[in-house]
Structure 1
Amino acid sequence: MMAYTRLSILFLMLAFSVAVSAQREVIHEERSQYRNVLVTEFNGQRCMLFNIHRGDMNQTCIDLRNPQRLVFNYTKMSFAGLLLNPDPDNILVAGLGGGTIPMVMRELFPEATIDVLEVDQAVVNVAKEFFNYEEDQRHQVHVVDARVFIKRAGLQGRQYDYIVLDAFSGEYIPEHLLTLEFLQEVKTLLSDDGVVVANTFASSQLYDYESVTYQAAFGEFYNFKRAGSGNRIIIAMKSELPPQGELRQPARDLYERLLPYDINILEYPALLSTRPDWDESARVLTDQFSPANLLN
């Protein structure tokens, strides 16, 4: 009887999985030298994902019934950096996806200059055609490797108030974008009160190495995790971090502006931590030692 029950449960789970797959419609596929970029629709959501045959996770999803609402927790969490710099004038976003983060930044800060870095033209094409992504005179996407752009920008003396590092997929981390040398190059771009917001994994074999690398580049940083999310957000500054208690007032000031995007920023200050929860004896990732994808 027990074996029969287990078999029945497995059958039902398989049937449900097949039904869901059948309902997920691929409406577009864009091929590039890097990957296949697909657009699917399911249950009122349109999503971008890479290499669906490998089971990759969604990169971007929009709610077709309410496009302003952010779907993913990690996307909402990336705006926690506004607690440290609530009015950025110059913004840099590494990794486009569907363009959700830069488009929200454009709505929040219409006078800001926004540079977006995306290595794959196919991703740009799909973002514009299917995810309402738009450029303008103050908001431009650069089809370039993020490290190349950042290195050149540093040599030119450019400065940014808000830098988002989001050039990761669900299973792949570009090794050259996760080394001490790269993070030091990012740090040179920060204005005096500039903030770096990095989207990465909440748990992996890479966690300790990644954490000590950010620690070596920036010193103390805020570690931001939420229950139910497989991502964490690292928030760092060139200058000393403000005390956690000082973040409550910026949260109150930003609350109404962020609510249309389904971001309850009032919850965020209490979830930020500077307490190391990693092995601080782990080896720092460098250009000579960066086995990031093996560790992940």
Structure 2
Amino acid sequence: MLRTATASLLALLGLSAEARVLHTEKSLYRNITVLEENGERCMRFGRVASSRQTCLRLTQPDQLVFDYTRMMLGALYLQPQPRDILVVGLGGGTLPMTLRKLYPQARIDTVEIDPAVTRIASRFFGFQPDAAMTVAEEDGRVFVKRQLKQGRKYELVMLDAFDHDYIPEHLLTREFLLEVRGILAPRGVLAANTFSSSKLYQHESATYAAVFGDFYNLQTRSRVILLRQGGLPARGELEANAARLEKALPYYGVSQDWLLPLFKLSARDWPASTRVLTDQYAPSNLLNAM
């Protein structure tokens, strides 16, 4: 009976019979599956085969599997010594754990709305909070608003709260980005994992540009937006920081030969009439009108 149920689950997830399901859970927000296949342990949300949220290589657990996580570390080319870091969206804890190893003296705040994700990250993916790396189990925008009221400043903010099935609309709007801008320190850096192909692509670009001005637009199959409070660094500064980090980042699968060529300025390739996303005119309104 158990074998039959497992086979049915694998079929629903579009997985091979060799995949091994370690854990399934229906949380308040989503269905979560942890499985091993082809030498990797992955967390998946929902029943979409492409919905892997976190993967680690069992033989090289510190190597970053996804392009987007490597591109997110491109933020360090803009701010190579962050002391106060905020990560919105935990997944398996890949980004905060990597940053903890790179910057053992930094304070890292992580926000994750789903307590089940936090438990699974600790049980299956080696996520280990400590006195200086905490997890707040709440909505990311609520957390940002509170830090803004308290006058908290971060030198690095990473937004990693989107997944294949779900767009948290309130984390896409101009009002939210203004709140994020308010918690960035001078020369503080924002990295946002977002969509490379989406009906919202132009609107999202226009919204970031309206709040922050120019940004770097890193793209493979994923898209990461990088920007710095007060303006982007010159190319020479990027290259100098990349060279300085080349001693540390290749261990995690990030090399400047791969990453630096992806740094392209936003081309402002969206029509001037592109509507900025706001709390009043949310993404769902745009999608319903398309």
TM-score normalised to the size of structure 2? 0.91
Q: Distance in 1 between matches of 2:226 and 2:158?
A: 9
Could you say what secondary structure the match of 2:211 adopts? helix
CA contact under 8 A between 1:208 and 1:280: conserved in structure 2?
A: no
Cα drift, residue 292 of structure 1: 4.6
The answer for the alignment partner of 1:232 in structure 2 is 223
The answer for the alignment partner of 1:136 in structure 2 is 130
TM-score normalised to the size of structure 1? 0.89
Long gaps (5+) in structure 2: 1-11
Following superposition of structure 1 onto structure 2, how do residues 196-207 of structure 1 map, counting pairs within 5 Å? Answer: 196-207=190-201
Q: Distance in 2 between matches of 1:122 and 1:19?
A: 23
Indicate how the Cα distance of structure 1 residues 74 and 215 shifts in structure 2: closer, same or farther if over 3 A, else same.
same
Match of 1:287 among 252, 270, 279: 279
Match of 2:20 among 17, 25, 46: 25
Q: CA RMSD in A?
A: 2.0
The answer for the alignment partner of 1:3 in structure 2 is none
Could you say what secondary structure the match of 2:247 adopts? helix
Q: Distance in 2 between matches of 1:147 and 1:216?
A: 19
The answer for the alignment partner of 1:98 in structure 2 is 92
The answer for the alignment partner of 2:236 in structure 1 is 245
Could you say what secondary structure the match of 2:204 adopts? helix
Q: Distance in 2 between matches of 1:90 and 1:74?
A: 22
Runs of 4+ in 1 over 3 A off after TM superposition: 17-20, 292-296
The answer to whether the aligner puts 1:215 opposite 2:206 as a matched pair is no
Indicate how the Cα distance of structure 1 residues 223 and 292 shifts in structure 2: closer, same or farther if over 3 A, else same.
farther
- Residues 180-207 of structure 1: CA distance to partner in whole angstroms, max 9, x if unpaired? 0000000000000100000011121110
Following superposition of structure 1 onto structure 2, how do residues 32-51 of structure 1 map, counting pairs within 5 Å? Answer: 32-51=27-46
Cα drift, residue 129 of structure 1: 0.2
Q: How many residues align?
A: 277
The letter of the residue matching 2:38 is N
Indicate how the Cα distance of structure 1 residues 147 and 18 shifts in structure 2: closer, same or farther if over 3 A, else same.
closer
CA contact under 8 A between 2:14 and 2:49: conserved in structure 1?
A: no
Cα drift, residue 21 of structure 1: 2.3
Cα drift, residue 171 of structure 1: 2.9
Indicate how the Cα distance of structure 1 residues 282 and 135 shifts in structure 2: closer, same or farther if over 3 A, else same.
same
Cα drift, residue 18 of structure 1: 10
Rg bigger for which structure? Answer: 1
Indicate how the Cα distance of structure 1 residues 87 and 18 shifts in structure 2: closer, same or farther if over 3 A, else same.
closer
